[in-house]
Amino acid sequence: MKTANKKVTAERLVRDALAKAKHFADYNIFTFIDEEGAIRRAREIDAKIARGEDAGRLAGVPYALKDNFISPRGETTASAHILEGFTSPVTATSVERLEAEGAIMIGRTNLDAFAHGSSTENSYFGATLNAYDRERVAGGSSGGSAVAVALDIVEFATGSDTGGSIRQPASFNGVYGLKPTYGAVSRYGVVAMASSLDCIGFFTKTPEDMDLLMSIAAGRDPKDMTTLPDYYGESKVGKAKKIGVIKDFDNGSVDSEIRGALKHKCDLLKKKGYEIVELTMPALKYALAAYYIIQPAEVASNLSRYDGVRYGFRSEKAKDLSSIYDKTRDEGFMPENKRRIMIGNFVLSSGFYDAYFLKAAKARTLIVQEYEKAFSQVDYILMPVSPNPAFKLGEKVNDPVAMYLEDVMSVSLNLAGVPGLAIPAGKSKTGLPLGLQLVGPRRSDKALIEFARELQEDD
């Protein structure tokens, strides 16, 4: 990561990033760019450096913030109409930690509204384009963040991953994307999607940068009761020997080039002396169905707070209390948000709770146990992030089931709370990035990042 010093000032780094952001404006990466604020911050950092003070481990490093993180700089919209006009008086813990080390936010990035989606097409502000093919999706929901890093506008970007939203766009754009262990990084100040699944993580160009960001952002936060006690810095990185591949995924539903990339990396590991172990994990076939019950149930509950009274937008058609709620929610949410609210309330309703939510919760326990069993046999698992590389804009956006199937290999990690690191794994014949994910037991984040270096190649 290039930090500022006396020769290369923070102002220089920030101005370069802002110029690149402008150059790539038609990719629709940013929902807001804070030129003035970023330059003001850069000058403060430069003044510190000039005085010989410590300006932090991220001194002057420009970064992009997914627009579902709150901070007083600019509106936090989560790319949803209903939050337009909402400025937060407080700052997310992760943002506070990064900025205390000198990082400078240049802008906020586009996402599927409320992080509901796998393509960034569900955004109120329109889709973000893929960094490698402008006719294809960026992936989602953190599409803007992934493309901002892939196009080298910023050194890193933040993301949230409830069911793949960091890993899938990372793999569609050829960068690293980490979904940490559940509770590793504070969720305080990130617009809640599904609270038992939400994880805060990052996009970077190298594993080393990911390690640096995690060492800064991870750790206990009294404002988020689910954060784990500090473990990241103290993690012992033992020598891995056995790497698992999941046999159940080795079928026609996964693109042949992605399967080829997986085989290639396994061969590389074998050459380096690792043992590749085939695992059968039959409970994973319930992951997608369980996720699309538990997640909307939590979404329905979390989105009930947007009522046209407390945040942002209120419908002009509202006449009385009940129409403030109805009209504002009708106009303010995207169709995908509404679909999830309806599914969520349905699976939680008294007549259907046992048949849906309870069953999904039981399947979740089986998935947790299956991962525990797997990690008693292997150190890490290597598997695809998604069944295909980036798809065409418009290809799946009107077919919710096709879009949900994108998440078939990413959601089980969120259900189990285990970390996953998306790594670049070469290109398809047509030049699209291919991605794989490394999965480890809970709290193995640092070891996973370290291990990713074993898989680095020039591609």
Q: Which residues are catalytic?
A: 66, 141, 165
Read off the tokens for 24: 């790539």
> Under the criterion CB under 6 A, does residue 295 sit at the interface with ligand GLN?
yes
Q: In sequence order, what are the residues at sequence separation of 6 or more whose Cβ sits closer than 8 angstroms to the Cβ of residue 226?
A: 182, 183, 187, 195
> Under the criterion CB under 6 A, does residue 165 sit at the interface with ligand GLN?
yes
Are 247 and 279 in contact, with CB atoms under 8 Å apart? yes
> Closest by alpha carbon to 210, among 186, 177, 237, 174?
177
Q: How is residue 190 annotated by DSSP? A: B
Residue 312 or 344 having the CB closest to ligand GLN: 344
Residue 158 or 162 having the CB closest to ligand GLN: 162
Residue 9 or 118 having the CB closest to ligand GLN: 118
Work out how close the CB of 343 gets to ligand GLN at its nearest, in angstroms, rounded to a whole number. 11
Main-chain phi, psi angles of 375, to 5 degrees:
-80, 0
> Closest by alpha carbon to 436, among 281, 287, 243, 270?
243
Burial class of residue 96 in the structure, from the number of CB atoms within 10 Å of its CB (0-12 exposed, 13-18 middle, 19+ buried) = middle
The 3-state DSSP class for residue 30 equals strand
Work out how close the CB of 193 gets to ligand GLN at its nearest, in angstroms, rounded to a whole number. 5
Residue 190 or 381 having the CB closest to ligand GLN: 190
Residues 173-212 binding ligand GLN (CB under 6 A) are: 193
Binding mask of the shown chain, residues 134 to 153, with x at each position contacting ligand GLN by CB under 6 A: -------x------------
Binding mask of the shown chain, residues 404 to 433, with x at each position contacting ligand GLN by CB under 6 A: ---x--------------------------
> Under the criterion CB under 6 A, does residue 163 sit at the interface with ligand GLN?
yes
Q: In this chain, which stretch among 8-16, 150-158, 163-171, 254-262 interacts with ligand GLN, using CB under 6 A?
A: 163-171
Residues 105-134 binding ligand GLN (CB under 6 A) are: 115-118
State the alpha helices, DSSP H only, in 24-85: 35-50
Angle at 90 between CA 217 and CA 182, to 5 degrees: 35
Work out how close the CB of 144 gets to ligand GLN at its nearest, in angstroms, rounded to a whole number. 13
Residues of the shown chain interacting with ligand GLN in the complex, contacts defined by CB under 6 A: 115-118, 141, 160-165, 193, 295, 407
